[in-house]
Amino acid sequence: MGKRVSSLLLVFILCTMSLAGCTDDENMSTEYEGPISLVVYYDLTAGQIEESWNQGNQQPTTGVSISFDLAGTTSTAGAIVTVTLNPGDGTTTIEQNVGEDGAEIAYEWQTHGLFMAAAGAIDSEGNTHNVTIKIRVDRHITYAIEQVGEAGDTMTFSMSPDNDGPLPNRISITSEAQNQGALPLQGGTADVTWELKDSDDMTISSNDATIADGSTEEWTTMSQSMKEGDWTLSIKSDGDTVNADHDVSILYLEGSESPANPRP
């Protein structure tokens, strides 16, 4: 019995060692029997786009940049000449010449979604092999507007991912309204109304608050009632005008991405 257990343990260790340096089990094709031994390292598989608006003007957006290192990839048929990456966001596949630019290929996602990226290699004999890696990209938007009055202000953002993947898991919003006070013809209160609507113009959430001169009120809301298309977050104020700061996060399900696979 002791020898049987020892043998099974040895087999398990050898199998575990054979997967080291590859992607997770889901991404490694058990059906592939070609000459390419694909090894892909990547430190991240999830990130958040940072988008900012000030007085209706969009500031520079920071996307989610991930590098895929295929330097350990080999082929028994010939040299690896090209590494490839299809980001899964509708853009064309990137092909990079290993001799000219190396075997590390990078891409920056600029739109939110759960993307099925494909990293691969081509050898000198034209053989190809690739693996699928799930990339989760959330979106975080900050939006600042001053002197909001009875006419109000409306922020618009898209809840649609840039592929055929799932809709976001939820939206989380924190909005702060400040009654600055000490302004000409002001000095009273601000009756503020917030409203979040989906792409069918249906109210998802709303809030009212009376803000005293020189005071601040914060509203926080979250919804998992997802619908694709353009959503709106509006704010208006009767009485004193207010300055508003919206913080909007469009979030996908944590853990829906592939595990990271950093270089040992």
pLDDT in tens, 34-86: 999 999 999 999 999 999 999 999 999 999 999 999 999 999 999 999 999 99
Write 98-105 long-range contacts (CB < 8 A, 24+). 102/71, 103/69, 103/70, 103/71, 103/73, 104/67, 104/68, 104/69, 104/70, 104/71, 105/67, 105/68, 105/70
C-alpha 255/C-alpha 236 separation (Å) is: 38
With a pLDDT cut of 70, the percent of the chain lying above it is 86
Share of the chain above pLDDT 90, in %: 83
pLDDT of residue 21: 43
Kindly state the tokens that stand for 90.
Answer: 């509708």
- The mean per-residue pLDDT over the stretch 243-249 comes to 98
How do residues 150-180 score in pLDDT, each as one tens digit? Answer: 999 999 999 999 898 999 999 999 999 999 8
DSSP-derived letter for residue 79 is -
To which H or E segment does residue 5 belong?
Answer: helix 2-19
For residue 180 the two structure tokens come to 């600055």
Please provide the DSSP assignment of 170-188 as one string.
Answer: EEEEEEEEE-----TT--S
pLDDT at 185 over 80: no
| Lookup: tokens for 22 | 């590859």
Cα–Cα distance, 155 to 244 (Å, whole number):
11
CB neighbour list of residue 16: distance below 8 Å, 6 or more residues apart: none
Q: What is the pLDDT of residue 197?
A: 98
Name the burial class of residue 260, with classes exposed (0-12), middle (13-18) and buried (19+) by CB atoms within 10 angstroms of its CB. Answer: middle
Q: Amino acid identity, residue 13?
A: I
Tell me which of 186 and 257 has the higher pLDDT.
Answer: 257
What phi and psi, each to the nearest 5 degrees, are found at residue 119? -105, 135
**Is the model's pLDDT at 137 over the cut of 80?**
yes
Cβ neighbours of residue 164 under 8 Å, at least 6 residues apart?
none
Mean predicted confidence (pLDDT) in 227-241: 96
Residues 6+ apart with CB under 8 A from 226: 159, 167, 168, 169, 170, 171
pLDDT at 6 (0 to 100): 38
What is the spatial distance between Cα 36 and Cα 67, in angstroms, rounded to a whole number?
21
pLDDT of residue 20: 36
Instruction: Note whether 240 and 188 are within 8 A (CB).
Output: yes
- Asked if pLDDT for residue 5 goes beyond 90, the answer is no
Is the confidence at residue 236, as pLDDT, over 60?
yes
CB 192 within 8 A of CB 236: yes
Q: If you average pLDDT over every residue of the chain, what do you get?
A: 89
Helices then strands, each counted (H, E), the chain: 2, 17
In this predicted structure, what is the pLDDT of residue 182?
Answer: 58
Tens-digit pLDDT profile for residues 10-35: 333 333 333 334 443 344 445 888 99
Give all domains of the chain, ordered by start, each with its CATH number.
23-137 (2.60.40.10), 149-251 (2.60.120)
Q: How far apart are CA 6 and CA 88, in angstroms?
A: 44
